Structure 1
């Protein structure tokens, strides 16, 4: 299936922006079940961007710009052809050793409740069956509720509250996996819900390493493995590590950010 994506991040400031340096995780890469047919990024300074592949296999761009008095927009858009592989991720280069994905970060640090969650799902089950059970359990216990958490909410906090968004579902899944000794990583991308439908937000899920099978995606927010309705953009240890746009600036007081995402099934 071919999916058309447009992701715009718009910034307004009360004072001129003197200088800005930003890291972009906005460019999807090819692997066995995903092929980028066309993609572009429009942003100040992008013509001189530093582009590289990081240790997790992500395509990253570093941009710098300054002396801007008006608003700033960063737009990523393109068309991606995706095949349903039942969540299996093959043919994706990743230089980082698998053990790196056992490292707990602040958002994914497991407390006793999350360790118990993992232990319960993997008891008397194989890894793959346990991962499916874990995904279903998180979906059942943590309600999807916009505005119930914020960018710095940890997995432990969201699980205790029983509410969150896709970022929280993914962090909880990762925390439970890593506490059980299963490498897991955080994934950003896009999701469209079906034929004739469109999505208006970016999405996040997780991938776990299954022995003798490889990396497999799990989306606890929707209780399913990624299909051809998903576009995978970047992966890392947690949400902060693969934020679509992250950096620093001088000037540009009282920053206001607005994000608009549209994902549709492309005309074929």
Structure 2
């Protein structure tokens, strides 16, 4: 599937301010699930210096440095991405032992994944959820992940909250509702409680029919030996296939945010965003009679 994505961020300030260095993560990644075909980036005012680099999890980030004072910052991108994965389970686990919950990674791999296994303060409600699903799916890691994704979607109501950090997993459990980022963090914590390495993903999702996404989306990925990082979206209840486009991923949600920056000055700030995700209809090649 070919998806075209446009995204704009406009920061307005009540009076001119000095812009601190800004980290931008709006370049879709290229991997086994998606291939970036074109990427256009426009920034106004033009940065004095800009550099692109790979972050800790392999996403492309741009570091922007500005000079002078400004009363606005406008960033816009246009991306064309081919999504490649139609079957989320198109792999075999490397060993039968990886089919069991709790998942036990071998030594070197476990050491490399340690940051994705670490939890904050353990919540007894999350522990109970993970324990119940682990008992139901003791001999099926993939069944556990699918069941967890489906359960969160069925029980916790989706809500929209424009800004702010994700809620703590226990708080989301208690409220029985949350944004896509809240549900992703809850899913991650339950996975980690069951020994499954998990990370947070920010990106875009193509809606069904007329239901087009007009904002960033968030989901999570689990690391499976033989399958690598595989996405699951608790806000839809499904494994991730070709309707999602990933931008960045991290063990910590803040490090997968689309932009990080601040300013110096006594001013009020306002942010307006616009996102559009459209499927491109491929033109069939002409054939001679």
Alignment TM-score, normalising by the size of structure 2: 0.83
User: Which runs of no fewer than 5 residues in structure 2 stay unpaired?
Assistant: 92-110, 283-289
Aligned residue for 1:30? 30
Question: Larger deviation: 216-225 or 23-32?
Answer: 23-32
Contact 1:45 1:64 in 2 (8 A): no
How far the C-alpha of 1:74 sits from its partner, in A, is: 1.0
Of 104, 115, 119, the residue aligned with 1:104 is: 119
Does the CA-based 8 Å contact 1:149-1:164 persist in structure 2?
A: no
SS in 2 for 1:174: helix
The residue that corresponds to 2:82 in the other structure is: 81
Q: Is 2:166–2:182's contact at 8 Å kept on the other side of the alignment?
A: no
Query: Relative to 1, partners in 2 of residues 1:191 and 1:252: Cα closer, same or farther, differing over 3 Å?
Result: farther
Q: For the residues of structure 2 that align with 1:89 and 1:79, how far apart are their CA atoms?
A: 24
Hey, what's the Cα distance between the residues in 2 that align with 1:178 and 1:236?
14
Q: 1:141 and 1:233 mapped to 2: Cα distance?
A: 28
Paired residue total = 260
CA–CA distance in structure 1, aligned partners of residues 46 and 90 of structure 2: 33
Deviations 1:153-175 (A, max 9, x none): 22221121011110011000001
Contact 1:202 1:261 in 2 (8 A): yes
1:139-158 CA-partner distances (Å, limit 9, x unpaired): 12210022499425222211
Q: 1:40 maps to what in 2?
A: 40
The 5 Å alignment of 1:178-197 reads 178-194=192-208
Alignment-derived partner of residue 64 in structure 2: 63
Say if 2:47 and 2:67, in contact at 8 Å, map to a contact too: no
Candidates 278, 282, 285, aligned match of 1:264: 278
**What is aligned with 1:253?**
267
Listed as ranges, the matches of 1:131-170 within 5 Å are 131-147=145-161, 150-170=164-184
TM-score (norm 1): 0.89
Is the Cα contact below 8 Å between 1:171 and 1:238 reproduced in 2? no
CA distance in 2, matches of 1:48, 1:89: 43
CA deviations over 1:220-253 (Å, ceiling 9, x no partner): 0001111211111110013211110012221261
